[in-house]
Structure 1
Amino acid sequence: MVDALLDAIPANWWTDDPDYVESWYTLAKSSSGRRNGATGNGWMTVSPYHVPEL
C-alpha cells in the first residue's frame, strides 16, 4: 500500500522548486509590525489575533 501512495505523488513534489521564497519563525503574544524572513528574501506585517475560548 505504501508503494501505491508514493507512486501517486507527482515526481516534482520532491524537488526544490523556485517557488519557495522565505521562512519565518514567529512566537509572540503581543508584538506587531514588520518582520523580516530568516534569509532576508521577504518580509511580512504581523499583528495580534485573539482566538476566543471554545
Structure 2
Amino acid sequence: MLRAYRPLADALPAAIPTSWWTDDPDYVDSWYTPAQSDSGRRDGAAGNGWMTVEPYVVQEF
C-alpha cells in the first residue's frame, strides 16, 4: 500500500527549485505572526530586517 505513494513522495523534493536551497540575497528575514494588539518596531527572526506595525481596524459593511 505504501508503494503507491512513493512516486508522489519522490516528486515533491524534485519539484523544489535548486535556488530555494541557496543563500538568495533577495531574502531579508522572516517574521512571526503578530498579535492583534502588537504595535511598534518588530525585528525579524534572524535580525536582518525590521518593520513597524500598528493595529488597523476594518469597518463593517
In the aligned structure 2, how far is the partner of 1:53 from the partner of 1:28?
21
Q: What's the offset of the Cα at 1:30?
A: 1.8
In the aligned structure 2, how far is the partner of 1:35 from the partner of 1:28?
12
Identical pairs, percent: 68
**Which 4+ stretches in 1 moved above 2 angstroms?**
none
Q: Which residue of 1 aligns with 2:58?
A: 51
Structure showing the higher helix proportion among its residues: 2
Select the residue among 41, 44, 51 that pairs with 2:48: 41
Which protein, 1 or 2, shows the higher relative CO under an 8 Å CA cutoff with sep ≥ 6? 1
Gaps of 5+ in 1: 1-13
**TM-score (norm: length of structure 1):** 0.62
Q: Secondary structure at the match of 1:53?
A: coil
Larger Rg: 2
1:27 aligns with 2:49: no
**TM-score (norm: length of structure 2):** 0.56
Q: Which residue of 1 aligns with 2:10?
A: none
Equivalent residues, number: 42
